[in-house]
Amino acid sequence: MFVEQVSSVDRDARTQLAMALDWARDGDILVVTKLDRLARSVAHLMEIVDTLTQKGAALRVLSMGIDTSTATGKLMLTILGGVAEFERSIMLERQREGIAKAKQDGKYKGRKPTAMAKADEVRHLKAQGMGGSDIAKALGISRASVYRALEEV
């Protein structure tokens, strides 16, 4: 069993998926709970299915009841993968439009600068003689944030 809980966007971080694909043998079935947890694009999905097919293995998606060991399963996977990618791109487009409108209306400020909220603590610890790396560790912020806070005095 291979278990992974990372974003499917970063292929390099998908070590368990890579190990599962490498491990796959003739007659094996790679079982995933949801299609969107496996791949973010149809191209990547087809790459995974092709790798499995070359090894004589198949893919089963539990939430959709799809099994690529059948011709119908392969067809359904391709169609649903395309629809899922289209849906995601539409959602991201709407999100970008919403953020642009909010910025235009002055309602979108971005995320709150968490490290700069600790600027007083940074200056206090520096005054006590603590070094930048130690301050960063103590406050749970980066060294760059420590020095940025010290520059704004």
Whether the model pTM is above 0.75:
no
pLDDT of residue 60: 92
CATH 3.40.50.1390 spans which residues of the chain? 11-104
Mean pLDDT over each residue of the chain, to the nearest integer: 86
Residue 33, pLDDT above cutoff 60: yes
Overall fold of domain 11-104: Rossmann fold (3.40.50)
pLDDT of residue 84: 79
pLDDT of residue 9: 56
Q: Which two tokens mark 48?
A: 């995974």
Average pLDDT over residues 15-24: 90
CATH code: domain 116-151 is: 1.10.10
Q: Which two tokens mark 25?
A: 């043998």
CATH 1.10.10 spans which residues of the chain? 116-151
Q: Summarize pLDDT for 48-91 with one digit per residue, the tens.
A: 989 999 999 999 999 888 898 888 988 888 888 788 788 888 99
pLDDT of residue 55: 94
